[in-house]
Amino acid sequence: MRPSKSPLLSLPGAVPAEGPDEGVAAHYGDLFREQRLLADGTGFVDLSHRGVVTVTGPDRLSWLHLLLTQHVSDLPAGQATEALILSPHGHIEHALYLVDDGETTWAHVEPGTQEALIAYLESMKFFYKVEVADRTDDVAVTFLPAGSIVPAPQDVAVRETPYGRDLFLPRERLTEFAAEHGPAAGALAYEALRVEGHRPRLGLETDHRTIPHELGLIGVAVHLQKGCYRGQETVARVHNLGKPPRRLVFLHLDGSEVALPAHGAPVRLASDGPEGRQLGFVTTSARHHELGPIALALVKRNVPVDAALLVGEATAAAQEVVVEP
């Protein structure tokens, strides 16, 4: 279940987003200006459509350590981290963006996924002293870019990362926060900078068979020196003995094309033409204020790293390596 539409959709110029970011603004009238502001450390992004889950209780970190791919048993208060929940076969099911404030572990997740996540967590409580709660209705995630001088409210949990800060802001204060710390930037600006930063997103860069190695998440969201968790056998086997079947790549797209390729658009070798064998698919595309049209894609591991690619029927693409083959 998603929260109701953001009150910031009433801001001047707000255009509602579609797809996974429905409920917040795609932009506020000037996509590239909004990107430049974020790149310069100015403004904020309304991510209030994302799910918010909390875990409290004295056993919260040791319990989460048993379930997540990340080492969190000794997670210091205020230190941000990322973690996954995998299927028994090692496929990515949930992605959590975490911080612990010393009393509560806060996580934001993809819109609409919090109910399934909570159902799984509740099924694994057993005798542990923990309480899991869905806070999506009363807490809104907001993003401040790296370099922002906006102070975080004293009573708000904060995830500080190299690319910015996530604030777990009481939803009732969202409009006040926007008035004090604008201008607001939309989801399209945030996504363009995410693609530029090669940061994968659940449901876009993943499908039902994605394993962490394909997205470069080993070491980022998966810790290789921790105890057992669901799916660990696959993680260890691929890391030690095999190679992932696919790899994430960053694409520079031909700027002469008017439309961006949609999620799922086929990727082929340019030398094979539009009738050639499909070797992958576009996961996210975006228009960047400096780089032009860009995208992330999943391709077969053995696609040569220097090969010119063709996206869809006619869009030429040059690749940059994100995950080594």
- Residue 241 clears pLDDT 90, i.e. is over it: no
- Residue 312 clears pLDDT 80, i.e. is over it: yes
CATH number at residue 302: 2.40.30.110
- Residue 9 to residue 27: CA distance in whole angstroms: 10
pLDDT value at residue 228: 87
Please, which pLDDT band fits residue 255 given cuts at 50, 70 and 90?
Answer: confident
- Which of these, 169, 184, 60, lies nearest to 124 by C-alpha position? 60
**Residue 251 falls inside a structural domain:** yes
On whether both 43 and 183 belong to a single domain, the answer is yes
Is pTM, for the whole model, over 0.85?
Answer: yes
**Residue 205 falls inside a structural domain:** no
Mean pLDDT over residues 72-100, rounded? 97
Digit-coded pLDDT (tens) for 207-222: 999 999 999 999 999 9
**Residue 107 falls inside a structural domain:** no
Domain span holding position 155: 7-50+138-197
| Sheet-wide strand order for 104-109 | 81-86, 92-100, 104-109, 51-56, 131-134
pLDDT value at residue 152: 86
**Residue 43 falls inside a structural domain:** yes
DSSP notation for 202-234: TTTT--TT--GGGGT-BTTTB-SSS---TTHHH
On whether both 190 and 252 belong to a single domain, the answer is no
Please, which pLDDT band fits residue 304 given cuts at 50, 70 and 90?
Answer: very high
Digit-coded pLDDT (tens) for 98-157: 999 999 999 999 999 999 999 999 999 999 999 999 999 999 999 999 999 999 888 999
**Residue 207 falls inside a structural domain:** no
On whether both 155 and 33 belong to a single domain, the answer is yes
pLDDT value at residue 258: 76
On whether both 162 and 263 belong to a single domain, the answer is no
pLDDT value at residue 302: 95
On whether both 175 and 273 belong to a single domain, the answer is no
pLDDT value at residue 137: 96
On whether both 33 and 147 belong to a single domain, the answer is yes
pLDDT value at residue 261: 95
- Residue 54 to residue 124: CA distance in whole angstroms: 15
pLDDT value at residue 150: 93
Mean pLDDT over residues 301-312, rounded? 96
On whether both 186 and 286 belong to a single domain, the answer is no
- Residue 83 clears pLDDT 80, i.e. is over it: yes
On whether both 24 and 148 belong to a single domain, the answer is yes
On whether both 260 and 318 belong to a single domain, the answer is yes
**What's the number of domains the chain is made of?**
2
pLDDT value at residue 226: 87
On whether both 320 and 174 belong to a single domain, the answer is no
| Residue-averaged pLDDT of the chain | 96
Beta strand segments in 131-212, E: 131-134, 139-145, 157-161, 164-170, 184-185
On whether both 36 and 142 belong to a single domain, the answer is yes
On whether both 182 and 291 belong to a single domain, the answer is no
pLDDT value at residue 256: 78
DSSP notation for 95-134: EEEEEE-SSEEEEEESTT-HHHHHHHHHHT-TT---EEEE
**Residue 33 falls inside a structural domain:** yes
